[in-house]
Amino acid sequence: MDGAPYEVLLDSCAELETFRRASGNLYERVRTCLFLFHIYRFYLMEAGQVSRAGYIPYRAYEDLLDRRFEEALERLQDAVRRNGPSGTLFSAIAQCYRDLAFETLTDQVRRSVRASRGNQWMFRVGNAIDHSVRIRRELTSRIDGSPYYPILCEKTPVRLDLSHSGWSDIFFLGMDYPEGARGVEHIG
């Protein structure tokens, strides 16, 4: 993409958008949104023919705030057609694609997790007391006046993430390089 002419970049964006809308594969849609984000945010603005100043239609701004990214994209693209390109509009379009990518990724993760029969408990939790994961009582008190709590040693055949943070990498890794998506962690 470096050094690609402005018109080629715009044609590429149109093709990617057509592909994104037609694809039923959430993974492909996430990747396409991220490609579009990068093209609008970085490459189109550097390719010239784009004024830095411009206005974002207020309705598109409201759509962005209300997380209606598809509607915001339509309004922003319409503003580009009516008023010409601007860095402001391209930046807002890039933000739409970025947010849409993460919304789609969330849908992808939700669909993938719900597809596994063993994960159904995660969607029945209405209160912390309903959660099936419990903390062992021995881990909540210090031993013999020690300033330290007991150490938990976790051994499991699958990846268990008690904090539910930082694991979305496995989905992308699993799709791009399935044989490398095996997580092993040992704290000795």
pLDDT 10s digits, 22-75: 998 888 898 999 999 999 988 887 766 777 778 899 999 999 999 999 999 999
Q: Residue 59 has what pLDDT?
A: 96
pLDDT greater at residue 114 or residue 16: 16
Average pLDDT of the segment spanning 110-119:
72
pLDDT 10s digits, 144-167: 878 887 776 666 555 555 555 455
Asked if pLDDT for residue 188 goes beyond 50, the answer is: no
Pick from 72, 161, 74, 147: nearest CA to 113: 161
How many angstroms separate the CA atoms of 66 and 72, rounded? 10
Query: Where is average pLDDT lowest: 36-40, 74-78, 110-114, 173-177?
Result: 173-177
Average pLDDT of the segment spanning 119-134:
67
Tokens of 103: 């919304």
How many angstroms separate the CA atoms of 26 and 89, rounded? 26
Q: Residue 140 has what pLDDT?
A: 79
Kindly report the pTM of this predicted structure: 0.64
Q: Residue 43 has what pLDDT?
A: 86
pLDDT greater at residue 174 or residue 106: 106
pLDDT greater at residue 93 or residue 113: 93
Q: How far apart are the first and last CA of the chain?
A: 46
Write down the residue that tokens 């598109």 correspond to.
60
Asked if pLDDT for residue 133 goes beyond 50, the answer is: yes
CB 87 within 8 A of CB 45: yes
